[in-house]
A and B are shown apart, each in its own frame.
Chain A
Amino acid sequence: KSKEAEIKRINKELANIRSKFKGDKALDGYSKKKYVCKLLFIFLLGHDIDFGHMEAVNLLSSNRYTEKQIGYLFISVLVNSNSELIRLINNAIKNDLASRNPTFMGLALHCIANVGSREMAEAFAGEIPKILVAGDTMDSVKQSAALCLLRLYRTSPDLVPMGDWTSRVVHLLNDQHLGVVTAATSLISTLAQKNPEEFKTSVSLAVSRLSRIVTSASTDLQDYTYYFVPAPWLSVKLLRLLQCYPPPDPAVRGRLTECLETILNKAQEPPKSKKVQHSNAKNAVLFEAISLIIHHDSEPNLLVRACNQLGQFLQHRETNLRYLALESMCTLASSEFSHEAVKTHIETVINALKTERDVSVRQRAVDLLYAMCDRSNAQQIVAEMLSYLETADYSIREEIVLKVAILAEKYAVDYTWYVDTILNLIRIAGDYVSEEVWYRVIQIVINRDDVQGYAAKTVFEALQAPACHENLVKVGGYILGEFGNLIAGDPRSSPLIQFDLLHSKFHLCSVPTRALLLSTYIKFVNLFPEVKTTIQDVLRSDSQLKNADVELQQRAVEYLRLSTVASTDILATVLEEMPPFPERESSILAKLKKKKGPSTVTDLEETKRERSADVNGGPEPAPASTSAASTPSPSADLLGLGATPPAPAAPPPSSGGLLVDVFSDSASSVAPLAPGSEDNFARFVCKNNGVLFENQLLQIGLKSEFRQNLGRMFIFYGNKTSTQFLNFTPTLICADDLQSNLNLQTKPVDPTVDGGAQVQQVVNIECVSDFTEAPVLNIQFRYGGTFQNVSVKLPITLNKFFQPTEMASQDFFQRWKQLSNPQQEVQNIFKAKHPMDTEITKAKIIGFGSALLEEVDPNPANFVGAGIIHTRNTQIGCLLRLEPNLQAQMYRLTLRTSKDTVSQRLCELLSEQF
């Protein structure tokens, strides 16, 4: 039947049910049940149900099992946690729990477990542990209670406090009834992860229970034996529970080792049944046992046996087993005891790579090859991965590329091999070779002079191919630009041939690559004076000098100019060979780690940041262009790649101004500050840029500018660690009275801040009228597992809205007299906190925002200033006079403004500065 017919039929039925429910006649239990059940069915067919909840709740109070059961079922499926009906439902559940009727109790517990809302947790979290450990509770109710408690613990752990009941729950592992043990094991496994101490005793109980199961004859456990395997699911759960703890103490450990050996032995015995269910169940237990062995990682004998067992599975005809074996073996490979044993299976794994039909299985094989790789087999593994790469599925190519690049670097004895491998990578899967990979090969070539000649020769040869990948052009361009001279002696690769070869690729390349090639050309000018005129001609051509792309055009112009103006000596200095890169962890590794993680968006951020960390001075005689344009050329960022820069050292120069300031002040500002420190706040009164806050994790830098009553503040949050900050949320908090005087607007920042990264937040500020308090910047984030909370006062002060006013002596004193109302003047006499240096004082007054008026005060030792505070509503003229007394080391500061609160605040702010 058609979809329309179905909908029509359903609508008719819904109308019928609605009228039945609304009708005057009270429905009897049976028909109520019937209709609720119909509604449930309609819902499960995928239609919305917006009524009937009340009738379902009514069914709960029925004494008939079937009616009650349908009521609970409807509620479990259809009522979401926040429903208003929860109170009614809770009442019904309470009655059923108190009924002592095991079937009713079971239904009620199932309902709690299925809905599991916070209201339910509040109502029943105290009750359920009691039911669970009470001596007279029926077994089936205990099972339900255990899992019900688990659900409540998951939704609201705070409402389930550990207590006396925990030790009694642990003893449920000894229960005669295996169903109870199964349920209790699930509960304990979860609770033990958060409260390992409370449940420590469960280890020995679990081991003895496991031991009884694995040694039992297949008939002992009656119905818990599944195709001749004794209690497979319970065994799996017990083994899982043991993985919450480190290896137990020797007495228990001996017994556990026996169990594990028995399980391994059973795998070798002839199967008791030909049925696939038998072997599946047996293998489920076996895999879990191997997981435990790997988790403990302490018994070499067991580890090697596990490895051999998995080795057999690698050739099993069941795909599932091969897949799981590959997966487990990956973890085994990282154990020192079994690494060698895993390596013996290399041929099988390589074979799997070639023959498996399922891409996921092949992916596991790649993972395993990567995990088992070491110096002894690296060449073989890398070669196999490369050859697989030619036919590999697109979805996993990038990962393989990264893996090959890492292995090639890590285990390279001979760097010529490394260079060959990477060039092969580019040849085979150029599109999947990320920037990190080709940056890295250049770093390595530059740092090792033994491989430079070889690298130049190899890239030169590789470039001969009629169609080569753009990444190869990049690597080739860079390497020939640096080391082309090493092969120039050979007439087959003379300077002109090298140049022609590169230039033949030029027009097919994207802008960043062309920019890089232009740099190579200017380097050629230095390396090979004989091609200088050829290159100058190229640079001079219209397609370069008048290129539509600003970056290319600028490079062409500047390089051309450089090559004509500069003497040979200067050229040689400017275009000198690149200095070695500092040794650091491979950025590719970081990339691979990240690729495994969930965040792919931040990836982009990261590369952008690296890109702008433009510190490569060598081949770039055009720094002006790169820092002016907001997208610096990617060819120039080799130094910045990958590594996490030491936090203050390399934030992007595009945020440049800040940095200069950070450094000039660093002596005083780097010291760790208590949150909200007044001190630090005061330092910003007379300046706009600098480091506001710094601790081990986080650095907050400021850069701000103000004009009249408006301002803009850039806040830079630097993650100083190598770990991501999660849920990163800075909040600006204005006290109530401040809110009306100061307008702050900002956008939320990206909630993840990568290790070593910096994020920027812009705050737009408007001063509505004068104010005293400062806004507070609160920053919350998660670092590792811990929650961090930092509050600092944000230095937005009234004096920021100062505009200096120059005036002559006469004017000054005339206005001074006009402001002679006692409320308009505020005076403060205070001791000097810093050495009384005239120049510094002058700088501070100017930094404060007012004009410094020379030759106004008759006493030349005094300072006077004038300015206007701009707010949206008014402008307030301000005059100030500072009289130092060197003998007494005191100052007298007098402020006269047209508004008393302004005088007061400015006086406070400025007094702190001297």
Chain B
Amino acid sequence: MIKFFLMYYEHVEINKPTLLETEVIKSCLSRSNEQYSFIEYKDFKLIYPENAALFIVVGVNDTENEMAIYEFIHNFVEVLDEYFSRVSELDIMFNLEKVHIILEEMVLNGCIVETNRARILAPPQILD
């Protein structure tokens, strides 16, 4: 598994992310399919759905609805699917900035901004 991009919506000290990431990835990988998808990690909940091709983990605090975020991740994958016509790891790797734009359209500052697929894809499509 390759880690492609990361966004933090809370300030994290510059040297901490690497450590945090390793721990997060470790705790996610130790889960099996039968287990549930919400992992308590320190003060956070990690939400980690099993999507066939992509591994996406979202950490949230307790003010979020886990189920909603779970489905939001799926929505994100679908948006990527539509944009890249079936997204794969390589698409993300070589189009990092586009993925960022899409993510920024959907999430800003840790809050969901937009869930409408057509509107999310409008700005990146202008670019093309």
Q: Which residues of A contact B (CB under 8 A)?
A: 37, 40-41, 44, 46, 65-66, 69-70, 73, 80-81, 103, 106, 110, 113-114, 116, 140, 143-144, 147-148, 150-151, 178-179, 182-183, 186, 222-224, 226, 231-234, 236-237, 240, 277, 280-281, 283-285, 287-288, 291, 319-320, 322-324, 357-358, 360-361
Contacts and interface: CB of A to CB of B under 8 A. Distances in A.
Contact of A324 (B63, B67, B115): B67
Given A236-B65, A277-B74, A284-B65, A358 B35 contact: yes
B109 A148 contact: yes
Given A223-B119, A281-B68, A288-B65, 15 more contacts: A37-B97, A40-B96, A65-B126, A114-B109, A143-B114, A147-B113, A182-B112, A233-B72, A234-B115, A237-B112, A280-B71, A281-B67, A287-B67, A358-B35, A360-B36
A44 B6 contact: yes
B91 interface: no
A357 B5 contact: no
Contacts of B100: 73
B27 to A, nearest CB: 11
B104 to A, nearest CB: 5
Given A113-B108, A320-B70, A183 B38 contact: no
B80 to A, nearest CB: 15
Nearest to A72: B104
- Give me the 6 closest cross-chain CB pairs, A-B, nearest first: A284-B67, A319-B36, A284-B68, A186-B111, A223-B116, A147-B108
Contacts of A233: 68, 72, 112, 115
Given A80-B14, A150-B109, A284-B65, A69 B114 contact: no
Contacts of B96: 40-41, 44
A360 B71 contact: no
A240 B115 contact: no
Contacts of B126: 65, 103
A186 B112 contact: yes
Contacts of A46: 18
Of B34, B66, B68, the most chain A CB neighbours within 10 A belong to: B68
A484 to B, nearest CB: 47
Contacts of B119: 140, 179, 223
Contacts of B71: 226, 232, 277, 280-281, 284
20 contacts: A44-B5, A66-B127, A140-B119, A144-B113, A150-B109, A179-B115, A182-B113, A223-B118, A232-B68, A232-B71, A233-B112, A236-B68, A281-B68, A281-B71, A284-B67, A288-B68, A319-B34, A320-B66, A357-B35, A358-B36
B29 to A, nearest CB: 15
Contacts of A179: 113-116, 119
B116 to A, nearest CB: 4
A280 B70 contact: yes
Contacts of A360: 36, 38-40
Given A66-B127, A182-B115, A320-B70, A110 B108 contact: yes
A66 B11 CA distance: 27
A178 to B, nearest CB: 7
Contact of B109 (A37, A113, A320): A113
Interface string B59-102: 00001011110111011000000000000000000001100110
Interface string B35-53: 1111110000000000000
Given A113-B109, A143-B114, A147-B113, A361 B36 contact: yes
A471 B104 CA distance: 58
Contacts of B38: 320, 323-324, 360
A222 B118 CA distance: 10
Contacts of A240: 63, 65
Contact of A178 (B74, B101, B116, B123): B116
A682 B65 CA distance: 60
Main secondary structure of the interface of A (DSSP, over half): helix
Contacts of A284: 65, 67-68, 70-71
B34 A357 contact: yes
B123 A103 contact: yes
Contact of B37 (A140, A222, A320): A320
B67 A320 contact: yes
B36 A287 contact: no
B4 to A, nearest CB: 8
A228 to B, nearest CB: 13
A599 to B, nearest CB: 14
A288 B71 CA distance: 14
B65 A116 contact: no
A80 B123 CA distance: 26
A222 B113 CA distance: 17
Given A103-B123, A179-B119, A280 B112 contact: no
B100 to A, nearest CB: 6
B67 to A, nearest CB: 4
A182 B114 contact: yes
Contacts of B63: 240
B65 to A, nearest CB: 5
Contacts of B116: 178-179, 222-224
A77 B96 CA distance: 13
A55 to B, nearest CB: 16
Contacts of B65: 236, 240, 284, 287-288, 291
Interface string B1-38: 00011100001001000100000000000000011111
Contacts of B67: 280-281, 283-284, 287, 320, 324
Nearest to B10: A154
B127 A65 contact: yes
Nearest to A224: B116
Given A179-B119, A284-B70, A323-B36, A116 B109 contact: yes
A37 B18 CA distance: 21
B111 A150 contact: yes
A138 to B, nearest CB: 12
Nearest to A239: B65
Nearest to B70: A280
Contacts of A324: 38, 66-67
B28 to A, nearest CB: 14
Nearest to A111: B104
Contacts of B70: 280, 284, 320
A237 B111 CA distance: 10
Nearest to B63: A240
A148 B112 contact: no
Contacts of B109: 113-114, 116, 147-148, 150-151
A183 B104 CA distance: 13
Nearest to B6: A44
Contact of B11 (A37, A81, A323): A81
Given A81-B11, A284-B65, A223 B117 contact: yes
A418 B4 CA distance: 57
Contacts of B117: 223
Nearest to A147: B108
Contacts of A237: 112
Contacts of A151: 109
A118 B71 CA distance: 34
Contacts of B127: 65-66, 69
Contacts of B18: 46
Given A143-B113, A287-B65, A226 B35 contact: no
Contacts of B114: 143, 179, 182
B112 to A, nearest CB: 5
Nearest to B35: A358
Contacts of B113: 143-144, 147, 179, 182-183
Given A280-B67, A324-B67, A69 B97 contact: yes
A40 B14 CA distance: 15
